[in-house]
Amino acid sequence: MKTESTTVYRASILHFLDDPDKAGEQAYEFFEDGALVVEDGKVIKTGPFTDIQKDLPEHVEMVDYSGHLIMPGMIDTHIHFPQVEVIASYGEQLLDWLNNYTFPAERQFEDKEYASRIANLFLDELVKCGTTTALVFGTVHKQSVDAFFEASEQRNTRMICGKVMMNRNAPEFLCDDVESSYNDSKELIERWHGNGRQLYAVTPRFAITSTPEQLEKAGQLLEEHPDVYMQTHISENKDEVAFVQELFPESKDYLDVYDQYNLLGKRSVFAHGIHLTPREHERFRDTGSSVSFCPTSNLFLGSGLLDIAELEKEQVAYSVATDVGGGTSFSMLQTLNEAYKVCQLRGNKLSALKSLYLATLGNARTLQLDDKIGSFNAGNEADFIVMDFNSTPLMALKQSKCKTLAEKLFAMIILGDDRTVKSTYVAGQKLHSRDGSK
């Protein structure tokens, strides 16, 4: 180990090796008094502090977070950075909400200076909440994505973003055309995909706002750049599903629209998926495509209750996401809180361990990034967060009554928010601290 670039963080340590519902106690490692060793932005190892201490060189930097919990940074698989100021807009369901709030807000992103200001605020909010990677929608404007990636590059955060492709059923001021959407997306891929920690996602907004010709171009982009992502929406709202069937009467169902244009695959993430059919479940399973579960926005917009037990039964991969601005919080803790309640209403159970697995390693797996983030396996990028079990008086009181790790984690999820995140580190560098320390 090179002393000059090695830092040891002492705290309770939790990370996942597998899905707790499948592997039980073998699915995670927890060290009550643990250590995380980081060198040059990468994880070297983790384990009990007393064991790691024996092998440390002299004069290594030690950061003591005893009494706190260190976890991998959380991952958000569906969020809109141009919708920050749309959050908490009253009283609409999906299609009206888009027309009355979202589209007017997104118009402002034709101004790159404005886009940059919101991108910086957006990333600061994510980091403050302990989210270190996200799959992000831009707007139809190419400059909105440049602004986002420039802000992410400054922070060295691993982010995935894409320019919205949208050429119908939206205000004219937000529509591109078939060729411009292809050319702008291709240029952004060449500029940003794999540039440092930045990655690109081909982003048709949803079937309603793209013609068949534009969806064909989205498929062409994926064929030409097979390691990029694809993100869009599916089956969020029953009126939306009915409108898609009107627009594409020849399709078997909503997913078939995307399937016809070769948009399914292991790096394809479909937000919502509340009202899927058995045939769609089969195609998700066969292609390795995944559903992004967005509980706070599904509740806020009255879209419905996703049945994750059904997805599990059908072996459909899924992740969890905030979906700001339809979603009501940047915090993955608050999102997991609402996910638990959706599961309760569905008659399902969502344990604390499964919740935190989803927000870290599980989400990394759906993004095909588990070899880089989501756990503390040796060689992974050192994105991690320090959690304060006593961040509020109520949390401290509840934690004092908890007797098991599962109880402590569950209380943290239900009562926690951005105040619970004491510090956030990206590639071994501290980006956020509640006390302002560097």
Same domain, 99 and 186: yes
Alpha helices, DSSP H, located in 207-274: 212-224, 238-247, 254-260
Assess if residue 358 is contained within a domain.
no
Q: Both 124 and 234 in a single domain?
A: yes
- Residue 438 within any structural domain of the chain: no
pTM: 0.96
Which tokens is 29 given? 């490692």
Q: Is residue 356 part of a domain?
A: no
Is 121 in the same domain as 23?
no
Q: Pick from 109, 164, 71, 125: which is nearest to 327 by CA?
A: 125
39 and 115, same domain (yes or no): no
CB of 28 within 8 A of CB of 357? yes
Domain of 282, in residue numbers: 74-350
**Joined tokens for residue 437:** 């320390």
- Domain of residue 304, CATH code: 3.20.20.140
Mean pLDDT of each 10-residue bin along the chain, 438 residues long: 73 98 96 97 97 86 96 98 89 78 89 97 98 97 98 98 96 95 98 98 97 98 98 96 97 98 98 98 98 96 96 98 95 98 97 98 98 98 97 96 97 97 98 83
On whether residue 364 sits in a domain, the answer given is: no
Whether residue 355 lies inside any domain: the answer is: no
Judge whether 366 lies within some domain.
no
Claim to verify: residue 130 and residue 169 sit in the same structural domain: yes
What CATH number is given to the structural domain containing 415? 2.30.40.10
3-state secondary structure (DSSP) of residue 211:
coil
Same domain for 59 and 115, yes or no, is no
How far apart are alpha carbons 77 and 426 in whole angstroms?
18
For residues 93 and 415, give the distance between their C-alpha atoms in angstroms, rounded to a whole number. Answer: 28
> How many structural domains is the chain composed of?
2
Could you tell me if 312 and 400 lie in one domain?
Answer: no
Q: Is 262 left (phi over 0), alpha (psi -120 to 50) or beta?
A: left
DSSP state for residue 381 in the 8-state scheme: B
- Together in a domain, 418 and 295: no
Give the model's pLDDT for residue 438. Answer: 61
